[in-house]
Amino acid sequence: MSREKAGALSSLLDGLSREQVAWVSGYLAGLGADGLAASQADPAASRPEVAVLHGSQTGNAERIARALHAELAARGFAARIDSLGSYQTSRLKRERLLLLVTSTYGEGEPPDSAQAFHAFLMGERAPRLEHLKFAVLALGDRAYERFCQTGRDIDARLEALGGARLHPRGECDLDYEEAARDWTERVLKAVAAEGAPAAAPALRLVSSGPVYDRERPCMAALVVNTRITGRGSSKDVRHMELAPAAPLVFAPGDALGVVPRNDPELVEMLLQATRLQGPEKVADGRGGETDLAQALACRYEIRGVSRAFLACVAEWSEAGALKAMLEPEGAKELKAYVAGRDVVDVMREFPIAGLAACDLVGALRPLAPRLYSIASSAKADPDHIHLTVGVVRYERQGRLHQGVASTWLAERVAAGAEVPVYVHANERFRLPEDPATPILMVGAGTGVAPFRAFLEERALTGATGRHWLVVGDRRFREDFLYQREWLDYRRKGVLQRLDAAFSRDGGARTYVQHRLLAASREVYAWLAEGGHLYVCGDAATMAPDVHAALIEIVARERSCSREEAAGHLRDLMAEGRYQRDIY
C-alpha cells in the first residue's frame, strides 16, 4: 500500500484502538489492489456520497465496514460510516449508495444495535427507495439454522422497497476474512463504476503497530489455570491468566481470541472411524502439503457437525435418513441430530469404505478460534490477560465429549506453555464514556467475566458512577464465581448493590431475571436516570429470559404496553445504553 494511501486510511481511523487500526490496516493490506486508487479524479465530477452502515454484536461486521469505508475514502470517494444503532432512519430515503454489513444473532435475529433499524425497515413506515443502489454483506455461522438471516432480510427488503442491487449480497461463514475481502473488492469496483471519485483524501500518517489477529496471532504463556468452582460442583470453571509475548492493547468489554488445537485422542478416533492412517498428504491451505493427522489436529473442526459435512456424508453413504434431514422439512430432526454429536460420532454411524483423505478434509470446516471475555483491566494488570473459562465436557452414549478450546486450555496446555491469541475488540460492549454514569451488570455463569474487568477499571479510575451487579449460577457454595472479589468491592463501596441468584439450591429455581423482576422499580429508576445496562452470558435461555423480564419491568413501571416497552428497549440498544455480550 502506498504511503499516501496508508496515511489517508489512518486519518479515517481515529477513535479506534491500536488493535483495531492494526486489524483494519492488515485487512486493507490483504485487499492489495491499488488499481482503482490510480484512477485520478476529476475534482469537478460530483457523485453521491456512499453510506457505509454496520450492524455488529462482537465487532466483525464493524471492522469489515470500517475497512471498506477507509478504502473508499482512500480512493477518493465521499463516504461516511455509521452503526445501524446510531443511523437516523429518516436519512434512508435520501441515500443514493448504501453499503451495509451485518451479522445475525440469536436464532436468526439482528444484532442488538441493529434491532431498531431492522424493525423500522421491515415496518410500514419504511420509505420507497427507488433512487437507492445498495449492496449487503451478511455475516453468520452455517451451524445456525437461519444462516445470515438478518443480511438476507435486509437485502430482500431494500429490493422490495424499490432499491437496486449495486452488487449481489455476500455471505460469510465464521471464517469470514477471505469472503469479506473478496466482496469488498468487488463492491469497490462497482462503486467506482458509478462515477469518478469526488475529492482527494486528506493525508496524515499514523503508525498502526503490529497486527495480531486470528491469522497472525500473538503467543501468550498460560501462567495461571485455577479451578474456581468447588469440588462438589457439576461445573468446572477456570480462572486463567495469560502473559502475551508482546504488549496487547485491550479495553474492558473486549474478548480474547484463542486459536486452539484439537484433542489428539479425538484425531486418533477419527482416523480409526474413517480407516485412514494419518500420514496421507493433504493441502495445507498455503499452497503446500501437510500430513492428514497434523491437519486434523490444527486446521479442521472435528467436534461440531456442520450441515455441509452431513451433506457430504449423505452423498458418500447414500443414507436416506441423512438426506431426509437435509431437506427443508427435516430441519427439526437435523437440529436434534447434530446436538452433542461430533464428527467421530457421524463417521462411526455412517462408515465410508475407501474414503480419501482429501475428501474428508474437503468436507470439514476450518477450525475456528474461540472467544473469551477478558476478565481484567489492562490498567490494573497490563502484562496479563485474565479469562474465566467454563470447561465443556459431557457424556454422549457412553463417550466423553470435550470442548476443543476449553479442555485444551484447561488440561492439555502445560503450565507456562504458549498459546496463540489475539484481541477481539468489542465496541458494542463498552463502559459509558462518562465515569459518573451508573451501570447495572447482569451476568450468569462465565458471563460475570467482563464485569470483573469493568469493576476493576472503574475502581482504579475512581469512577463516581454507581455499580449494581446481578450474578447467577447453580449453587451458592460451589459456583459463586469471584465471590470474595465482589464482596470486597461491596465493602469498599465500589459496588453499591450485589444480587445473586442460585438455581439449584433447593426450593423454587431462581435466576437472574427473577432478581431483576423483584427489584423492578429500582431497575427502571437506574435506566431512567441514564444508567447503562449490560447483560453477559448464555444466549439460548438467559439472555431471552432477561430481555422478557426487562420488557415486563419497563411495561410495569411506565404503565405502557409490552410492544411499547420492547420498542423502548430497542431504542436503548440503539443508543448503546443496553448492551449484550451473549454466546
Residues that bind ligand FMN (CB under 6 A): 56-61, 103-108, 111, 139-141, 144, 146-149, 174, 176, 539, 582-583
140 binds, among ligand FMN, ligand FAD, none (CB under 5 to 8 A by kind): ligand FMN
Q: How far is the CB of 220 from ligand FAD (least distance, A)?
A: 16
Binding to ligand FAD (CB under 6 A) within 295-354 occurs at 303-304, 339-340
Between residues 448 and 523, which has the closer beta carbon with respect to ligand FAD? 448
Q: How many CB atoms lie within 10 A of CB 577?
A: 18
Binding to ligand FAD (CB under 6 A) within 22-61 occurs at 58
Q: How far is the CB of 123 from ligand FAD (least distance, A)?
A: 29
Q: How many CB atoms lie within 10 A of CB 387?
A: 24
**Residue among 404, 273, 400, 393 at smallest CA distance from 344:** 273
Name the grid cell of 14: 481515529
533 binds, among ligand FAD, ligand FMN, none (CB under 5 to 8 A by kind): none
**Residue among 211, 262, 263, 217 at smallest CA distance from 242:** 217
State yes or no: residue 446 binds ligand FAD (CB under 6 A): yes
Between residues 197 and 403, which has the closer beta carbon with respect to ligand FAD? 403
How far is residue 509 CA from its own chain's centroid?
A: 30
State yes or no: residue 390 binds ligand FAD (CB under 6 A): yes
**Residue among 410, 407, 458 at smallest CA distance from 433:** 458
Which range, of 119-127, 145-153, 371-379, 457-465, touches ligand FAD by CB under 6 A?
A: 371-379
Number of separate helices (H) and strands (E) present in the chain: 21, 21
Between residues 261 and 497, which has the closer beta carbon with respect to ligand FAD? 261
340 binds, among ligand FAD, ligand FMN, none (CB under 5 to 8 A by kind): ligand FAD
State yes or no: residue 404 binds ligand FAD (CB under 6 A): yes
539 binds, among ligand FAD, ligand FMN, none (CB under 5 to 8 A by kind): ligand FMN
Residues 6+ apart with CB under 8 A from 400: 393, 394
State yes or no: residue 394 binds ligand FAD (CB under 6 A): yes
Tell the burial category of 454 from Cβ atoms under 10 Å away from its Cβ (0-12, 13-18, 19+): buried
Q: How many CB atoms lie within 10 A of CB 166?
A: 20
Residue of this chain nearest to ligand FMN (CB atom): 140
Residue of this chain nearest to ligand FAD (CB atom): 403
139 binds, among ligand FAD, ligand FMN, none (CB under 5 to 8 A by kind): ligand FMN
Cα 83 from Cα 116, distance rounded (Å): 12
Q: How far is the CB of 256 from ligand FMN (least distance, A)?
A: 15
Cα 263 from Cα 286, distance rounded (Å): 23
State yes or no: residue 140 binds ligand FAD (CB under 6 A): no
255 binds, among ligand FMN, ligand FAD, none (CB under 5 to 8 A by kind): ligand FAD
Cα 36 from Cα 28, distance rounded (Å): 14
Cα 269 from Cα 252, distance rounded (Å): 40
State the number of CA atoms in the 13 A half-sphere of 29 facing the CB.
13
Summarize as ranges the residues that interact with ligand FAD (CB under 6 A). Answer: 58, 255, 303-304, 339-340, 370-373, 388-390, 392, 394, 403-406, 446, 449, 581, 583
